[in-house]
Amino acid sequence: MTSTAGKLIKCRAAIAWEAGKPLVIEEVEVAPPQAMEVRIKILYTALCHTDVYFWEAKGQTCVFPRILGHEAGGIVESVGEGVDELAPGDHVLPVFTGECKECAHCKSETSNMCDLLRINTDRGVMISDEQSRFSINSKPIYHFLGTSTFSEYTVVHSGCIAKINPEAPLDKVCVLSCGFCTGFGATVNVAKPPKGSTVAIFGLGAVGLSAAEGARLSGASRIIGVDVNPNKFLLAGKFGCTEFVNPKDHSKPVQQVLAEMTNGGVDRAVECTGNVNAMIQAFESVHDGWGVAVLVGVAHKDAEFKTHPINFLTERTLKGTFFGNYRPRTDLPSVVEKYMTGELELEKFITHSVPFSEINTAFDLMLKGEGIRCIIRMDG
């Protein structure tokens, strides 16, 4: 038992008071975890584009004031009633989508879409009592993705927490809790490129570069990076990209450019942009007969995917995935081990690091499209 167990904790959190306005670091009260919940001391967190989308709230549901953040690593401070797989002191990664281990999805061989704990971007409260655990002057501050890691302490459902090797450096493996696993898993678990195949990656942010890394480790022989920001091409070579296409450099549609480069289409395409037009382009870029496209980006809430049905009839497959089809509790500890044994390299994804007091810099970097991941150090 820690001395803070069962008590309110006062700590610093970065509050998004309104859409698109800089976050403000304030003192919040964090209530103790209720049944099946865990309170975590966050040590490192990173910014993912999904945080930026919901902060901008352009075409996304507005829930404010809110504590954003979902890619992080920390240590369990205390646990609520009924939590028996986690204890104070455990090193953990909170994940935006969970695993109850009881529902039809959790029991299926293929799905990570848990009925109880699957990603819900609109919910700002805990599942058990529909209340927030964060408050300022008794007024609730809402949660985000069930994780709200832009706070020194946060409360998360125990089913959304992966317990990991305590030797693993949290300032590195925190990127496994969203970006890396999402992109890497989209390729290795979902697109499954055969050895020697050609893979196109649309969008070369952290998620897309992780997808490229998955293609490289799967033995793809050509990895074509597609991005509208040519600065991304400078970094992408390190992640296995062998060629680049900037759709803005061409007057014809990018799917036609790719078809000409590859004798009819790529074997696999992984979309990591969040732009619905890029999603359509990714699908229409895959070869007929065997091509598979995987969507990863989170699109505008009114977006519609339109393509001619002939593109399916000619035997192309379209799939989508959250969190690279990984189950957070079952699969994440072994992904951490892959990093520990040197099979996965995470350092190259981390281009910036800022103290918590400068969290808005991480937003500026992402908005300018600079770097890959910016780690936010909670003690700073």
- The interface partner of residue 228, options being Zn ion, ligand NAD, none and the CB cut-off 5 to 8 Å by kind, is ligand NAD
Q: Give yes or no: 374 in active site.
A: no
The HSE-up count of residue 184 (CA atoms within 13 Å, CB side) is 21
- The interface partner of residue 16, options being ligand NAD, Zn ion, none and the CB cut-off 5 to 8 Å by kind, is none
Residues 239-268 as b/e (b if ≥16 CB within 10 A, e otherwise) read: bbbbbbbbbeeeeeebbebbbebbeebbbb
Catalytic residue (choose from 37, 39, 50, 329): 50
- Give the whole-angstrom CA distance, residue 266 versus residue 202: 12
Q: Give yes or no: 241 in active site.
A: no
Q: Give the strands of the sheet with 268-271, arranged side by side.
A: 243-245, 222-226, 198-202, 268-271, 292-295, 317-320
Contacting range for ligand NAD; rule: CB under 6 A; set: 10-18, 81-89, 100-108, 206-214: 206-214
Q: Give yes or no: 103 in active site.
A: yes
Q: Map the footprint of ligand NAD across residues 68-87, applying CB under 6 A.
A: none
- Give the whole-angstrom CA distance, residue 311 versus residue 307: 7
Establish if 211 lies at the interface with ligand NAD (CB under 6 A): no
- How far is CA 6 from each of CA 22, 270, 364, rounded to the nearest angstrom? 32, 45, 37
Q: Omega of the bond prior to 65 within 30 degrees of 0, cis?
A: yes
Q: Give yes or no: 62 in active site.
A: no
Q: Give the strands of the sheet with 139-141, arranged side by side.
A: 9-15, 24-30, 134-136, 139-141
Catalytic residue (choose from 160, 174, 178, 272): 178
Catalytic residue (choose from 39, 91, 105, 118): 118
Q: Dihedral sign for Cα 228, 231, 233, 237, please.
A: negative
Q: Map the footprint of Zn ion across residues 90-119, applying CB under 5 A.
A: 100, 103, 106, 114
Establish if 232 lies at the interface with ligand NAD (CB under 6 A): yes
- Give the whole-angstrom CA distance, residue 70 versus residue 268: 28
Q: What is the number of other CB atoms lying within 10 angstroms of the CB of residue 289?
A: 10
- Minimum distance of ligand NAD from residue 140's CB (angstroms): 25
Catalytic residue (choose from 39, 48, 143, 154): 48
- String of contacts with ligand NAD for each residue 23-52, x by CB under 6 A: -------------------------xxx--
Q: Do residues 262 and 288 lie in contact, with contact meaning Cβ atoms separated by under 8 Å?
A: no
Residue nearest to ligand NAD (CB): 205
Establish if 237 lies at the interface with ligand NAD (CB under 6 A): no
- Give the whole-angstrom CA distance, residue 156 versus residue 269: 34
Q: Map the footprint of Zn ion across residues 268-307, applying CB under 5 A.
A: none
Among 117, 162, 168, 226, binds ligand NAD (CB under 6 A): 226
Full DSSP string of 17-38: -STTSPPEEEEEEEPPP-TTEE
Quick one: 9 or 191, whose CB is closer to ligand NAD?
191
Among 275, 307, 317, 353, binds ligand NAD (CB under 6 A): 275
Q: Give yes or no: 50 in active site.
A: yes
Residues forming the active site: 48-50, 70-71, 100, 103, 106, 114, 118, 178, 373
Binding site for ligand NAD (CB under 6 A): 48-50, 53, 178-179, 182, 202-208, 226-229, 232, 247, 272-275, 277-278, 296-298, 322-323, 369
